[in-house]
Amino acid sequence: MERRECLQKMKGPGDMRGRDIYGVFQILITNVCDLGTCSNCTQMIAWQKDKWFMPLDLFERAIKSLVGYPGIIGIMGGNPCVHPEFRELSEIFESYFPWKARRGLWTNNLNGHGAICDKHYGYFNLNCHGNERWAQEMEDSLPGQTVWGKKDCASVHGAVMVDMTDIIQDENERYQSISNCDVNQRWSPAITLYDGQLKGYFCEVGAAWDQVLRLDLGVSVTQGWWMWKMEFFSRQLRFCHHCGVPLRLEGDFDHANVDTVSKSTHKIAPLGRKVRLLRNIDVVRSSELTDYQGLRHTPAKTEGAT
């Protein structure tokens, strides 16, 4: 598959993610996480050097730029609940998107903000990553909501930090995988903070790669920017070729605190971070990047971690 055909098959930020269904648009309000050790974190938190919180005025600009988006707007990080102005952010959020069911929260720990979360949010992705105390706070504060990642059912995260160019040398073959990427077809575009400026990405994992690789390929966040088609985001395909998500490789349990890497990403792995080196594609594939229920995955069988 050639580049042009790949772009035609991919979804822009405003395209439907399923039949008659719009997906979730994420606003990354911080890259600070009170866990920060999950295996193969899709935001590569342990790989990001500079930590930040999105200021209130920039958050309001981000929210305003999405007015008219027909899907769910989520906030995530890091852990958004560690943001020092979480209450104020939530109030701004509600003022622009009054329908509660369309305001989403992705978090591993409510951090004492249970009442705020219950009041301002109606759509949740809650994963305590094995911490029973965090799980209990979620269940007490948000009755009826599912809490994933409890000790009896650890989550599995697929390999994100594998550089696809190390595994697949043929560019057209990589474009074929990219055109079917789970994140592009079913997950989320994103707004994040890059060197103090709002930047937009057609892919939330691409937003994280830009924080790690420092290529500054995000687009300016202006009113209605999310309606632009994929051709406008074509420069961001550079991240896709160096990302492991399209490969759908088997992952690791979140509590294993290990990242699966390939030759190129092994060179840039954070000092002291435990990694597992993948040398070829002859490993088990998965049907999805992440598995919260333990139904589809087994831990990856690659070379020993270092």
The reply to whether 143 falls in a domain is yes
Residue type, 283: V
Q: Is residue 214 part of a domain?
A: yes
**Does 290 reside within a domain?**
no
For residue 32, being part of any structural domain is answered with yes
Q: Give me the CATH number covering residue 27.
A: 3.20.20
Q: Are 156 and 300 in contact (CB under 8 A)?
A: no
Provide the domain count of the chain. 1
Is residue 271 in some structural domain? no
Residue 282 has pLDDT above 70, yes or no: no
Strand order from edge to edge, sheet including 290-291: 252-253, 156-157, 290-291
In tens, the pLDDT along 201-213 reads 999 999 999 999 9
Residue 283 pLDDT greater than 60, yes or no: no
Strand-pair partners of 39: none
Unique residue bearing structure tokens 């979804």? 11
Question: Residue 303 falls within a domain, yes or no?
Answer: no
Give the domain range for residue 185.
1-14+22-154+170-251
Is 287 exposed, middle or buried, given 0-12, 13-18 or 19+ CB atoms closer than 10 A?
A: exposed
Q: Note whether 284 and 300 are within 8 A (CB).
A: yes
pLDDT digits (tens, 9 = 90+) for 28-43: 999 999 988 899 999 9
Considering the domain boundaries, does residue 302 fall inside one? Answer: no
The radius of gyration computed from the CA coordinates of the chain, to the nearest angstrom, equals 18
**pLDDT for 300:** 54
Residue 258 lies in a domain: no
